[in-house]
Structure 1
Amino acid sequence: MTDPDPLPPPERVRVTGPARLTSRARARAREIDEETVLGTVLMGSLLRAQLRLAVLTLLPVVLLGFAMPLAFRLAPELTEWHLVGVPVSWLVLGVLIYPALFLLGWSFVRRAETHEREFAELVEITELRSDQR
């Protein structure tokens, strides 16, 4: 038995290049590019969020960079500890610091992408609200 109402085949789409911005997306980009009041406020909020993120990410790096050598200088007995025949100070400064730096970098990238995604959503929301007026 055959189906009386067969579905038509899906429409074929030829992809010849990257997707282009829609007129609405171009309007949002123009709002920022032309540095209107709204565009300035939106960009300022993104820049402040990214700057705050950069400072909060660099703070542990600076603290570790100064605190650990200072601790070894002020408490020389820390340099006398050995683990598997290797001084602990070498292990901390030469090995354990790299996973910490990797995690800080990974965390920074994830949070920066989140800020950018939220910025794009905010721009879209403000565009929708301005269209409703």
Structure 2
Amino acid sequence: MSQNPPQRERVVLAQRRGARMVRTRVEVQEQTEIGDALVRGLMRAQLGLGLRLGLGLVVVVVAIPLLVFAFPEVAAATVFGIRVTWIALGLLAYPVIYLTGLLYVRLAENAERDFMSLVDDEESEVGGGP
């Protein structure tokens, strides 16, 4: 009566990670409590990013009139017959607003990409595809 010892099974971290990724995707798709928490986390991160960038933009725009109030000689200065305050508020503010929006889009897309890399299952990691 010869008993064969149980065959050893090698556990690889990548195999468990793939299973976890599939489970995470199912959690989000089925809108379970965990999936809902993940989506709310993404939305909270994007909201926080928008609020921080918006606050920074407001600080910059409000700083211009405060600077004029603190230093009245700046209000009297002109360039090509146009007051410096009008140049700052009318011309220079728009590129700052545009660049803030561009920065928000880039950072929000990075957050979404990170979220999708957490949720999305790649079939090659699970072992089911090419």
Same-fold call, TM cutoff 0.5? yes
Q: Deviations over 1:47-102 (max 9, x none)?
A: 22102211121012211232211221232111111222221111101101011111
- Residue 90 of structure 2 aligns with an amino acid whose one-letter code is G
Return the TM-score normalized by structure 1. Answer: 0.65
Match of 2:82 in 1: 86
Q: Structure 2 counterpart of 1:104, which letter?
A: T
Structure 1 contact 57–108 (Cα < 8 Å) conserved:
yes
Structure with higher RCO (Cα < 8 A, 6+ apart)? 2
Say if 2:53 and 2:100, in contact at 8 Å, map to a contact too.
Answer: yes
Tell me which residue corresponds to 1:119: 115
So what's the TM-score if we normalise by structure 2? 0.67
Unaligned runs of 5+ in 1: 1-24
Q: Distance in 1 between the 2:35 and 2:114 partners?
A: 15
Identity %: 37
1:1-133 matches, within 5 Å, as: 28=25, 31-124=27-120
Number of residue equivalences: 104
CA offset at residue 35 of structure 1? 3.2
* Structure 2 unaligned spans of 5+: 1-21
TM superposition outliers: structure 1 runs of 4+ over 2 Å:
30-35
Paired residues of 1:42 and 1:123 also in contact (CA < 8 A)? no
